[in-house]
Amino acid sequence: MASKASSKKTPPTLTVSSPGLPPQPQVNITHGNSRISAVLPTGESVEIMLYGATILSWKDTAGNEKLWLSEGAKLDGSKAVRGGVPLVFPVFGTDASHTETSKLPQHGFARTTRWEFLGKSTSESSAVSSMDGGDNSVKLDFGLSHSNLSAEARAAWPYDFGLIYSVTLSRDGLATSIVVRNESEGESGKGFEFQTLMHTYLRVNDIADVSVEGLESSPYIDKVAVKTTTSPAEKLSITSKTDRVYTPAGGPSKPVVVSEAGKKKFSIVRDNLNEVVVWNPWKDGAEEIGDFTPKTGFKNMICVEAGAVKGWQKLEAGETWEGGQIINC
C-alpha cells in the first residue's frame, strides 16, 4: 500500500533585516595631506587648506560657489591665500605701537602657518530630516599652538597659546568659530592681547548691483579717507575703493545682509565679534595687488569680515575667549 504524502507544510522562513544607516557626510584628506574636504549627502561642500586653515571653497547643493578665490592665489603654502576665508590672528593689519604684536607681519601668523586637523563631528536637526537625507551638518576642527609656529614667529610672539578653529557646513550655510586659550599657568604665566578676524571673500555676480544692510547709523573707521565717522541711515553700496571697520549699531546678533539686485544673497550673524570690515579694492587697488587675478575680479567679490579688531582682547594665564559667525544663504 502506497504511503500518503504528508499534508504538513513547512512554514516560510522569516528574515528580519535592520534598516540601513542614513547617508553620512563624506570627509576626505586630499592634495598630499594638505587639504580637507567635506560633502553633505545633499551635495553642499567645503574645502579647507591646512596652510592657514583657509577655506578655499564653499558650494551649495547645486554646486554654486559662494566664495571668491583669486585665480592668482598661491595654493602651495608659499604665502597667504588671496580669497576664500583666511584667518587673521593675533593682529589685524599691523600696529607698530602695540608692543606685543609690533614684530609680526601683516595680519599675523595664523593664515601663514600649517594647522593640524583635529577631526570631524556630525549632527542631525531631527529624526525626520535624518531619515530623509542623512546628517544635516559636519563640523571640522583645526588646531594651532605655539609649537606649530616657525622659529621666527615664536620669537616675534613668545606666548603659550592654543587655538581651535571650527568650520561647520550645513544645508543652510557655513559657520566658523575660534577658541583662543592662554595656555600659560600659575603666577608666572604671561597674559597676552590679540585681535582676530575672519577675512571672508563673498562671491557676487556684479558689485554694481550689491548693497549691504545692517551697517546703517553705525560708527566706522574709513581707512581710505583716514577718518572716523558715522554711516547714513541707508544701505551701503560699493562704488569705489572701500576699506572700512564698522561697529554695527545693532550689535553682533543683528544680521548684516548682502543683497544683489534687490535679492538677499548672504546673511551674517556674529557672536562676540563686534566689528565688521567691508573691503573691495576697486580697479586701482586690484591693479596694485600682485596675486589679485583677474584684475576685473573686484566686480565679483565683496569682503564682509566679522572680527574683534577695534582695541584688544586680553587673556590672562588659563583664560579662554571664543567668537564666531554664521553665514546663511
Over residues 209-232, mean pLDDT? 98
- Residue 300, classed as helix, strand or coil, is helix
pLDDT in tens, 77-109: 999 999 999 999 999 999 999 999 999 999 999
Between 19 and 135, the more confident residue is 135
Contact of 167 with 48, CB cutoff 8 Å: yes
Q: Which of 245, 241, 182, 248 is nearest to 216 (CA)?
A: 248
pLDDT of residue 123: 77
How far apart are alpha carbons 114 and 124 in whole angstroms? 31
Q: Which of 115, 179, 181, 193 is nearest to 148 (CA)?
A: 115
* Amino acid making up residue 40: L
pLDDT of residue 187: 75
> H or E stretch including 48?
strand 45-49
Q: Which CATH number fits domain 26-328: 2.40.160.40, 2.70.98.10, 3.20.20.140, 1.20.1250.20?
A: 2.70.98.10
pLDDT in tens, 254-265: 999 999 999 999
**Residue 153 dihedral angles phi and psi, to the nearest 5°:** -70, -40
Percentage of residues in the chain having pLDDT higher than 70: 90
How far apart are alpha carbons 112 and 213 in whole angstroms? 32
Catalytic residues: 199, 305
How far apart are alpha carbons 140 and 169 in whole angstroms? 8
| HEC profile of 236-294 | EECCCCEEEEECCCCCCCCCEEEEECCEEEEEEEEECCCEEEEEECHHHHHHHCCCCCC
Per-residue pLDDT band at 19 (split at 50, 70, 90): low
Q: Which of 143, 259, 272 is nearest to 197 (CA)?
A: 272
Residue spans per domain, the chain? 26-328
**Residue 92 dihedral angles phi and psi, to the nearest 5°:** -95, 120
Contact of 295 with 288, CB cutoff 8 Å: no
> Which residue ranges are tagged as binding site for substrate?
82, 106, 111
Please list, residue by residue across 48-72, b when 16 or more beta carbons sit within 10 angstroms of its beta carbon and e when fewer do: bbbbbbbbbbbbbeeeeebbbbbee
Whole-structure pTM value: 0.90
pLDDT in tens, 106-146: 999 999 999 999 999 987 643 333 334 457 999 999 999 99
Q: Which of 319, 325, 220, 222 is nearest to 270 (CA)?
A: 325
How far apart are alpha carbons 141 and 205 in whole angstroms? 31
Between 127 and 47, the more confident residue is 47
pLDDT of residue 295: 98
* Amino acid making up residue 198: M
> Which residue ranges are tagged as binding site?
82, 106, 111
